[in-house]
Structure 1
Amino acid sequence: MSLASVTDFFATRAPDIAIQRYATSTATVALAAEALGVVPGQIAKTLSLRLDDEVVLLVARGDARIDNRKYKDTFGQKARMLGLDEVERETGHPVGGVCPFGLARPLRVFCDVSLKAFDEVFPAAGAPDAAVRLTPARLAVLTRAEWVDVAQDVGVAVA
């Protein structure tokens, strides 16, 4: 169902974007970067977080980590990841395929400015062997994301 919902999302909102399937797993940043032949930073990882009683998604470059101070300054609380048992129920996507597209229900999406270091990024597409390629700006527009700065500085991007 998850890959199908992402396929429907792109068919409706961005038919020019193709979902790519890979022979190997893309479930982690390292595996995805290897399968796609890109640097880990270009993998747009989607984190499932809880803000009070709301579930939100944060999309950041693959090699970035949350800066706890920036996160708290932005959201007014400490970052709390969803438990593995909650992720698919809340997003509609399995761990390893979580993305901000084709969600089980509407969730607020935030894109970290760390994504802007790259011309193209590669978020998952609802399955642990699927991804899409698009610009960070297009990612934010398609998901109605708000830009935030909550990742640690990872330095200059190497492509």
Structure 2
Amino acid sequence: MAGSVERVKAVLAAAGHSDDLATFPASTRTAAEAAAAVGCEVAQIAKSILFRAGDAPVLVIASGANRIDAGKVAALVGSAIERPDAAWIRQVTGFAIGGVAPVGHMTPPLVLIDADLAAIDPIWAAAGAPNTVFRTRFDDLVRISGGRVGDVREQQP
């Protein structure tokens, strides 16, 4: 894990973003675990959900309070998507599930960012390990990830 955390730190520093990371003794693998560790609302956690469009990775960065609508993601990508297995995620990102950061991927993904994150400050995102996060702001998250903002949230009944 140390290599993937160092990769995230290097990308953050190169982008002019603070590379201060918070590491916790307990897991921050899920949005609820991360929020409890950080002491923030679940909505403030930027969860990373990876999809696969053929052989191309598609990273959706969403508010921890939102479920992702795969149909909306496919429409934004312009092709069919599927959920990859953990081995493929690790191979293309260099991260284990629960530590997938918005930056520092081995294979650069197409990045989509949940528009709901624009109203949240600060935001906490995974930093390469299942117990490490970093603090950011929406504009910085868009800038450092190269992401495109869109409506990816599943509508609640």
Give the TM-score taking structure 2 as reference length.
0.89
Name the structure 2 match of 1:14: 16
SS of structure 2 residue aligned to 1:115: helix
Task: Look up the equivalent residue of 2:140 and give its one-letter code.
Answer: R
How big is the shift at 1:52? 2.9
Q: CA RMSD in A?
A: 1.7
For residues 134 and 153 of structure 1, the distance between their equivalents in structure 2, rounded to whole angstroms, comes to 26
Name the structure 2 match of 1:45: 47
For residues 71 and 98 of structure 2, the distance between their equivalents in structure 1, rounded to whole angstroms, comes to 27
Matching of residues 24-35 of structure 1 within 5 Å: 24-35=26-37
Which contiguous aligned blocks of 4+ residues in structure 1 show a shift greater than 2 angstroms?
Answer: 14-17, 67-79
For residues 50 and 94 of structure 1, the distance between their equivalents in structure 2, rounded to whole angstroms, comes to 16
Name the structure 2 match of 1:157: none
Residues 118-148 of structure 1: per-residue CA shift (max 9 Å, x gap): 1211110000111011111110101111111
The percentage of counterpart residues that share the same residue type is 31
Aligned length: 154
Task: Look up the equivalent residue of 1:131 and give its one-letter code.
Answer: V
Unaligned runs of 5+ residues in structure 2 are: none
Name the structure 2 match of 1:141: 143
For residues 85 and 15 of structure 1, the distance between their equivalents in structure 2, rounded to whole angstroms, comes to 30
Does the 8 Å contact 2:44/2:123 carry over to 1? yes
For residues 18 and 122 of structure 2, the distance between their equivalents in structure 1, rounded to whole angstroms, comes to 15
For residues 140 and 67 of structure 2, the distance between their equivalents in structure 1, rounded to whole angstroms, comes to 22
Structure that is richer in strand per residue: 2
Name the structure 1 match of 2:68: 66
SS of structure 1 residue aligned to 2:9: helix
- The question of 1:110 aligning with 2:112 is answered yes
Which segment is superposed worse, 141-150 or 6-15?
6-15
